Amino acid sequence: MALSIGYPSKQGLYDPSFEKDSCGVGFVANIKGEKTHDIVKKGLQVLQNLNHRGAVGSDPKTGDGAGVLVQIPDEFFRMYFEKSNIELPKAGEYAVGMVFLPKEPALRLQCEGIIERVIEEEGQKVLAWRDVPTDNRGIGETAKGTEPTIRQVFVAANNKNQTEFERKLYIIRKRAENEVKRLVDKSTEYFYICSLSSRTVVYKGLLLADQIKGFFVDLDDINFKSAISLVHSRYSTNTFPTWDLAQPFRFLAHNGEINTIRGNRNWMAAREGVLESESFSKDISKLFPIVSPNGSDSASLDNILELLEADGRSLAHSMMMLIPEAWQNNSLMEDYKKAFYEYHGSLIEPWDGPAAVAFSDGIQVGATLDRNGLRPARYIITKGGLVVLASEVGVLDIKPEEIKEKGKLKPGKMFLVDTSQGRIIDDEELKREICNIKPYKEIVEKNRIKLESYEILEEKY
């Protein structure tokens, strides 16, 4: 989608492939998984305090983008649909899709029709559409000029397995994107699915950090509750921001840049011809292209994380594959961890560059740093079970006597909160468990081939 990428075409000394960015990122979470509106409010306060990390252009009221990822506020949506006599299934048995749609009515209806048809063809049920209430009086003229129609689609699961349901939702989104693309490519209208999940929902846009709460009316409702609030304020250096490139994406929010992005994208495109998956079986081809050709480097990373997670790996496992520690020449690293990185290094290349990445699937929320640790990430844990992590300190006012622990992420390390277990899993325990899921050391040693072990035959002429 030409409009989606937001860059001018290559001309003179300008090349859009060299665009880079740096942003503000953070999250607030209740360790025990207790959903409250206060967590949402605190997340938005963190976002507002990261406002200086976001950028603006010539229009001072149009930001580079900001947003928040939260758990699905089941109570809020249930109360809303009670007025319409629509009964939602149990939490986890229905999904919410946040969709940017064209303003032009006929085109919007076509897009909605495609989404509904694909949902039905994949064996799920469309429950309802909901207009997301917004107030654009405080946003800039530039943002208003490309503002999409924002609606939510509610989808009922046709099975009780939430993991399988999430996998189906992934297929639905990719199919719908591919089919709608042909329509939108011929117009100047917008189409983008911000999120489609039974666990999380994303509210984002071409906004300043302090505009999010005022623009999305839902976020100010006392019944809008979550135990996780992941936020992002975008600073896109020399880029041309768009509504869809605002973050968080469907799983992550990223501060930094991926220097290996062109190679990473090319390798993923090359793999599609031989890609196989027990989880998706013949449906794997419905996901192509895995990486959206018009996404930012952060969006591309999110595309791959989404694939790895949907294929059955945990978020932490997937992030270890994508952003590994410096392991090759580390004599102090445990053998089982080296074997894990060596094994996965043969499957996928690292997404390298200065980066701090926060991520969540609606159950776990965490963050990791690149192997050089060139982007900051600091955290505070309170005695009351609150966790605050951000790209800088001071994003939330917390009294010193309430603080149980504070610290910073180190290069290549990971910080993870598991709300289902109600605890923080430290880097050592987390990676020891993941690295011993399979006997990676045995697998590597059995299959490794070293050229120096073969006799070199010199051909004489």
The Cα-based distances of 445 to 143, 343, 377, 440, 453 in angstroms read 55, 10, 36, 9, 13
Query: Do 361 and 346 form a contact (C-beta atoms < 8 A)?
Result: no
Query: Do 96 and 77 form a contact (C-beta atoms < 8 A)?
Result: yes
- What is the DSSP code (8-state) at residue 420? T
CA distance 284 to 171: 8
Q: For residue 24, what are the β-bridge partners?
A: 233
Calculate the CA dihedral of residues 334, 339, 340, 343 and round it to 10 degrees: 160
Token pair belonging to 422: 């109600």
Instruction: Establish whether 23 is a catalytic residue.
Output: yes
- Altogether, the residues listed in the chain come to a count of 461
Q: What angle do CA 203, 42, 59 make, to 5 degrees?
A: 50
User: Among 23, 111, 194, 435, which one carries the catalytic annotation?
Assistant: 23
Q: How far is CA 251 from the centre of its chain?
A: 3
292 Cβ contact list (under 8 Å, min separation 6): 177, 299, 300, 303
CA distance 255 to 20: 11
Q: How many CB atoms lie within 10 A of CB 457?
A: 6
Q: For residue 241, what are the β-bridge partners?
A: none
Helices (H) and strands (E) in the chain, counts: 13, 16
Token pair belonging to 141: 């003229």
Q: Which residue has the tokens 């999430």?
A: 166
Query: Do 334 and 270 form a contact (C-beta atoms < 8 A)?
Result: no
What is the strand order of the sheet 192-197 is part of? 125-131, 149-156, 94-101, 192-197
Q: Of the candidates 119, 247, 111, which has an alpha carbon nearest to the alpha carbon of residue 184?
A: 111
SS3 content of the chain, % helix, strand, coil (to 5): 35, 20, 40
For 206, the 3-state DSSP assignment is coil
CA distance 19 to 16: 6
List active site positions: 23
